[in-house]
Every structure is written in structure tokens, then in C-alpha cells.
Structure 1
Amino acid sequence: MQGKKAEVGTKNVKKVNLLDHNSLKHMLDESASEIFTSRGYVEDMRMSNVRLFIGTVIIVIALFAQFYKKKFPGNRDFLVGCIVLYIVFNVILQLISYAKEKNAVMFTYPPAGSVISTGLVVSAKLPRFSDIYTLNIESADPKSISAGKPVEFTKSVTQWFTEDGVLVEGLFWKDAEALIDDYLAEPKKKK
């Protein structure tokens, strides 16, 4: 750990509280996103836009329920309808998060000029009370003929942070780029 301190420059230092699990994961996820965008992958924001739209619909429903012109006994049916719609859209939002997003850090489009016709799903896990971080790459469309085999690596976060909580980006980038290279080097699936 002491040797890592010398490698850390003073420019763009990313420091985090090592006791805060969420901060650690967020810092590593942000760095992973930077790595993929630097490799030519453009982030696919469609899923985020869908979630934002559904969230906006939920807020509008709540505002209509709150500021409807009639007082309570007269607006009872309207309020029941708003409550039902509010619940339905919240369930849809949770299903999207649970079924589609899971642990996704980012969704990407395929790189420009690439023979790969599908984007990637980059996901990460850092279980609570654990120092083991797992970064996973898989195709956004696993049934595609150009989809590669999913790859992942698992390492302790202590490999990338100094004792002061500074991320040694070079080490993390090296590991993540090796994972990208592993994904791209995998033989393609046959239909």
C-alpha cells in the first residue's frame, strides 16, 4: 500500500472514504464508465430516459391528486384512480430496475466502425460488508451473432486504493482494459 502513494499524482486525485461502501462502488463505477467511453463506446441513455419519463408521470399523477379542484368527498373516485395509477407506474419502474438494469453501470452502443453490431452491458457488484468488487461485461443482445461471451473479473478494492482513500486509477484502468480486451478476443457465437 505504501508503494502506491508514490504513484498517485496531485492532478485529478479521486479520493473516497474507505469506510463508505457506496462511495467506493460509485467511484469504481464512474471510473469504469470513463474507461469504456475512452475506448470508443458511447453510452446508451435510452433506459435512463425511460426511467425518467416514468418518474415524471408518477410526479404528475401525485400533483394532480394533491391539487385537484374538488375537496375530499367530491374527489374520492379521482383520488382512488390516482392512487392506483401511482402504484402501477411505481411497480413498472421497480420491474425495469429489477429485470433489465440489475447491477448495470452503463449500457453502450457498439463502437463506431466496429464489426460488432451490439452494445455492451457493463455491470458491477460490491456486496455490503465486503471488499470484493466484480466488474462484468456482456452483450446487450446475447442472442446476436456478434455477441461475445460474458467476461468478468473479481478483485479486492484494496488493490486500487491507497490507505488514504485515493484511487490509483492506473491500476484500475489496467485491469478494466484487460477485461475489455478479453471480451473482444473471445470467439464469437455461432447461430
Structure 2
Amino acid sequence: MASSGAAKNPKKANLLDPHSIKHLLDESVSEIVTGRGYVEDVRLSNVRLLIGSIIMAIALLAQFYPKKFPENKDFLIGCIGLYIVFNGLLQFISYTKEKNAILFTYPPAGSFNSTGLVVSSKLPRFSDLYTLTIASADPKSISANGTVKLTRSVTKWFTKDGFLVEGLFYKDVERLVDNYNGDRKTK
């Protein structure tokens, strides 16, 4: 299924840029997981967009308020306070909920599992080891499976020219998804 698309449009990353490599791998992981029947849960992204829009509205209000500076001092102080509060809320969400997550999902349709997935990844600075983690979106649920991890060198998945060897990468990610779905005791 994915190999026909791979032959037509190969994916290439700049091997000297770890952000480019991680971005390409993360996008591919999202494609694979959603291709397995998981639907992306965008609620957290929508909340972040809403908070970001509120922050921009506050900044625009402060910038284009009809009164000049000495008269609008209290209004500007209020805008600055709100700006700080909403930015703090945005950072709190990123720090506590998102962490390294690249994808949140709902459970697959027709599944007995009542929790979706949280797929996260890491590619530490100055390292070639990419770690992919799949966990339950609700770890306290009775139907939550154990967390599974895959750590592998990115050199296994890329050619010398920077093209992703999609067949190898897809097999590794699909095997990890299968491990998550099949083994409830893996930590």
C-alpha cells in the first residue's frame, strides 16, 4: 500500500540537519499510524490555536487602541497581564500535555479498546538514535495497553543521499504498533 507511493514520490531529508530528519520521520509515523485505522485527535491542537488567537487579539487590541499612551496606561497594563497569563497557559499545556507527542489519536473504529494513542518521538541533539514511543492516551484506563518503545539509529532508514527507505521504516513502526496492540504487559 505505501510502497506504490514511495516509488512515485520518495521522501528526502537533509542528513546534516537533525530537525529535517526528525520532521520527516515524524510525518511518516503519523501517516503509518493513521493508515492503521487510528483517527487523529485534534482537540488539544484546537485549544492551542484558540489560545494563540486570543493572544493575538490581545496584542492587536493593545497596538490599535484608539487612545494614545498616557491615557491608555491602565488598558495596556491589563493587556500585558492577559498576554502573560495566556502565554503561561499555552506553555503549561505544552509542558504537561504535549511533551514530545507528535500524534494523539482516538481508538480505531470497531475496537474494544476505549483509549487512543499518544505517539511521541525523540532525536537528541548530536545523536543518531531516534526513539519512538507509543502509549495510551488514558494510561489509567482499564483498557490501556503498556507503553512500547523503539530506539534505532536513523542511519538504518536513510540512504547516503538522504532518501528514506520507507519499507524498512514502515515495517519497524508497524511492528511497534502491533506490539502495542498485542502485548498488554510491555513496559
TM bucket (normalised to shorter chain) is over 0.9
Q: Deviation digits for residues 26-58 of structure 1, max 9, x if unmatched? A: 000000000001100000000100000000000
C-alpha distance in 1, partners of 2:24/2:33? 15
Which residue number in structure 2 is paired with residue 58 of structure 1? 55
1:10 Cα deviation from its structure 2 partner: 4.4
C-alpha distance in 1, partners of 2:8/2:126? 31
**Is the alpha carbon distance of 1:10 and 1:178 closer, same or farther for their aligned partners in structure 2, counting shifts above 3 Å?**
closer
Which residue number in structure 1 is paired with residue 73 of structure 2? 76
Tell me the TM-score normalized by structure 1. 0.93
Q: Deviation digits for residues 38-83 of structure 1, max 9, x if unmatched? A: 1000000001000000000000000000000100000000000000
Which residue number in structure 1 is paired with residue 162 of structure 2? 165
Which residue number in structure 1 is paired with residue 3 of structure 2? none
Residues 1-191 of structure 1 correspond to what in structure 2 (within 5 A)? 10-187=7-184
Identical pairs, percent: 70
Task: Give unpaired runs (5+ residues) of structure 2.
Answer: 1-5
C-alpha distance in 1, partners of 2:181/2:170? 16
1:12 Cα deviation from its structure 2 partner: 1.3
**Is the alpha carbon distance of 1:185 and 1:10 closer, same or farther for their aligned partners in structure 2, counting shifts above 3 Å?**
closer
Which residue number in structure 2 is paired with residue 4 of structure 1? none
C-alpha distance in 1, partners of 2:185/2:152? 26
SS in 2 for 1:82: helix
Q: Deviation digits for residues 84-132 of structure 1, max 9, x if unmatched? A: 0001100100111111000001000000000000000000000011100
SS in 2 for 1:43: coil
Letter in 2 for 1:164: D
Number of equivalences: 181
C-alpha distance in 2, partners of 1:42/1:20? 30
SS in 1 for 2:8: coil
C-alpha distance in 1, partners of 2:19/2:117? 24
SS in 2 for 1:122: strand
Which residue number in structure 2 is paired with residue 5 of structure 1? none
Tell me the TM-score normalized by structure 2. 0.95
Structure 1 segments of 4+ aligned residues over 4 angstroms from their partners:
none
